[in-house]
């Protein structure tokens, strides 16, 4: 729809709306019952105080403009004829109506011009990858709410010379009241719409801050903060709109809901506990998204932290959802924050290995793992012959691998184990495995006695 078409439609809408709204008032003023008569078919009267609008500066200016136009019309009708001051509807002259429509046209023109200027300013701002244009974000936030504000208050002011023509003898004015409430609600919505849009500017700034930190929890905290703030803005806007439309005092109403709120809190205590568990996770940061943790016998990688629960992808591929209240109240092992991977293994060699070969085995192991690729100067590897097992002589090997890259660590372990196997095989050192050897005593102290039984001759 073009600019002219939109303007014409706006004018027609205003005129038609005013016509239908003024119908009950005009009917009442033209057919008021005589004193003492009892009207039939009329229900209980509405409180007249509720139909009296508040007269503001815009209304006062509109009344003065209307009076000036009427004076001008009266003078012009004396010179040019009565047609110029002829009435159209509800004692409204053609001159005042045309003047108001002209003001509506000016309001629409101003709104369009301002909108186009802001849009062109936004388009002229260059966009650079990785950089945020605060001017662009602020202009986008203010563009549409400003248009709504100009529309509602501009049209309300443009039609202000007409409102006095719909006023009843008791001071009530339904048409004026409807337009006044509409302008007030429109202004409130325009303001909160701007605040709602301005949250995007805050989101961009907080996202920039979150990207500068190493914590992935900050990347979750920023959207949650934005959503919470938007919900609060919407609720506050609804409360203020209701208060302006109905005149109800919201404070006493909210206070009266205290008992009901307590009942709801008791019924939703698990949800509230999960919510505060979420806050604890976000601010305490016991883990980050993408880290591997072990909690309540679940071993996996954290995928998401929500308002109610935390999602963990297990090593088996299954997705587990754990309530946040349980997460903060359970013991948690953060494998993703380990500084290294510790490798503790015990190598068993056979009991018939002579002492010199045991020493050789320890030397071989120390030679293989000395200055390995994952060694940190503060954590040198350790190798010791430290015990006698049931079926083997035990050599302990203890290594700390840096950095804690699991798959690189596994590649290194494989190469190390193959090298140990080759070197032991070359030196004739045998690995022990679970065996049991039975020795029959036949020494000087424990002679082996064997009895031979004679076989009876059955042929005799």
Fill in the DSSP letter of residue 390.
S
Quick one: pLDDT band at residue 26, thresholds 50, 70, 90? very low
The answer to whether the CB of 306 falls within 8 A of the CB of 290 is no
Q: Write down the pLDDT at residue 430.
A: 93
More confidently predicted of 432 and 264: 432
Strands (E) located in 262-367: 292-295, 298-305, 309-314, 319-323, 332-334, 341-349
DSSP annotation string for 163-179: HGGG--TTS--HHHHHH
List the beta bridge partners of residue 292: 301
Q: Write down the pLDDT at residue 429.
A: 94
The answer to whether the CB of 308 falls within 8 A of the CB of 275 is yes
Half-sphere exposure of 406 (CA within 13 A, CB side): 6
Mean pLDDT across 5-29:
43
Q: Write down the pLDDT at residue 349.
A: 95
Mean pLDDT across 431-456:
69
Strand order in the sheet with 341-349: 341-349, 393-401, 382-388
Averaged confidence pLDDT in the chain? 77
More confidently predicted of 111 and 252: 111
Within 167-309, residue ranges assigned H as helices are 174-212, 217-246, 250-256, 258-267, 269-284
Q: Write down the pLDDT at residue 20.
A: 42
Q: Write down the pLDDT at residue 394.
A: 95
Asked if pLDDT for residue 27 goes beyond 70, the answer is no
Q: Write down the pLDDT at residue 87.
A: 67
Tell me which H or E stretch contains 395: strand 393-401
Asked if pLDDT for residue 39 goes beyond 60, the answer is no
Quick one: pLDDT band at residue 7, thresholds 50, 70, 90? very low
CA angle 105, 108, 109 (to 5 degrees): 85
Mean pLDDT across 331-348:
92
Portion of the chain with pLDDT greater than 70, in percent:
66
Q: Write down the pLDDT at residue 438.
A: 67
Mean pLDDT across 317-331:
91
- Is residue 317 helix, strand or coil? coil
Output phi, psi for 347, to 5 deg: -105, 120
Asked if pLDDT for residue 207 goes beyond 60, the answer is yes
- The rounded distance, in Å, linking the Cα atoms of 402 and 404 is 5
CA 202 to each of CA 207, 212, 355, 411: distance values in angstroms, whole numbers, following the listed order? 8, 16, 73, 46
Peptide bond into 168 cis (omega under 30): no
- The rounded distance, in Å, linking the Cα atoms of 52 and 25 is 13
- The rounded distance, in Å, linking the Cα atoms of 420 and 443 is 39
Q: Write down the pLDDT at residue 321.
A: 93
Output phi, psi for 348, to 5 deg: -105, 130
**CB contact set of 429 (below 8 Å; sequence gap of 6+):** 349, 353, 357, 360, 361, 364
Mean pLDDT across 25-53:
46
Structure-block tokens of residue 153? 């208050």
**pLDDT digits over 347-396, tens only?**
999 999 999 999 999 999 999 999 889 998 999 999 999 999 988 999 99
Q: Write down the pLDDT at residue 266.
A: 65
């Amino acid at each position: 729809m073009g600019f002219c078409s939109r303007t014409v439609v706006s004018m027609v809408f205003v005129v038609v709306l005013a016509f239908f709204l003024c119908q009950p008032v005009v009917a009442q003023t033209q057919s008021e019952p005589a004193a003492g008569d009892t009207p039939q078919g009329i229900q209980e009267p509405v409180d007249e105080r509720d139909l009296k609008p508040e007269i503001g500066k815009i209304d006062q200016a509109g009344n003065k403009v209307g009076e000036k136009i009427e004076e001008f019309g009266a003078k012009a009708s004396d010179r040019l004829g009565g047609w110029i001051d002829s009435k159209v509807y509800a004692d409204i002259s053609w001159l005042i109506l045309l003047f108001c429509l002209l003001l509506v046209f000016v309001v629409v023109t101003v709104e369009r011009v301002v909108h186009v200027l802001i849009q062109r300013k936004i388009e002229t701002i260059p966009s650079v990858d990785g950089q945020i244009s605060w001017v662009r974000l602020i202009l986008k936030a203010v563009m549409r709410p400003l248009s709504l504000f100009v529309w509602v208050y501009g049209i309300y002011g443009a039609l202000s010379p007409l409102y006095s023509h719909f006023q009843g003898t008791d001071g009530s004015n339904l048409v004026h009241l409807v337009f006044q409430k509409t302008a007030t609600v429109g202004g409130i919505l325009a303001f909160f719409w701007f605040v709602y849009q301005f949250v995007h500017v805050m989101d961009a700034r907080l996202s920039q801050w979150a990207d500068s930190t190493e914590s992935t929890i900050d990347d979750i905290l920023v959207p949650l903060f934005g959503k919470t703030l938007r919900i609060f803005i919407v609720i506050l806007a609804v409360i203020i709109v209701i208060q302006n439309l109905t005149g109800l005092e919201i404070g006493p109403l909210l206070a009266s809901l205290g008992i009901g709120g307590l009942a709801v809190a008791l019924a939703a205590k698990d949800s509230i506990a999960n919510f505060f568990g979420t806050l604890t996770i976000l601010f305490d940061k016991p883990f980050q998204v993408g880290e591997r943790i072990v909690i309540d016998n679940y071993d996996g990688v954290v995928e998401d932290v929500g308002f109610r629960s935390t999602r963990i992808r297990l090593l088996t591929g299954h997705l587990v959802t754990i309530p946040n209240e349980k997460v903060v109240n359970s013991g948690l092992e953060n494998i993703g924050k380990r500084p290294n991977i510790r490798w503790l293994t015990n190598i068993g060699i056979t009991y018939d290995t002579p002492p010199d070969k045991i020493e050789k085995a320890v030397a071989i192991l120390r030679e293989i793992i000395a200055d390995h690729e994952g060694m940190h100067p503060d954590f040198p590897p350790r190798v010791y012959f430290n015990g006698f097992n049931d079926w083997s002589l035990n050599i302990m090997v203890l290594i700390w691998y840096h950095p804690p890259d699991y798959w690189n660590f596994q590649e290194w372990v494989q190469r190390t184990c193959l090298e140990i196997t080759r070197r032991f095989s070359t030196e004739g050192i045998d690995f022990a495995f679970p065996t049991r050897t039975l020795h029959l005593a036949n020494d000087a102290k424990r002679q082996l006695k064997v009895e031979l039984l004679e076989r009876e001759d059955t042929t005799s």
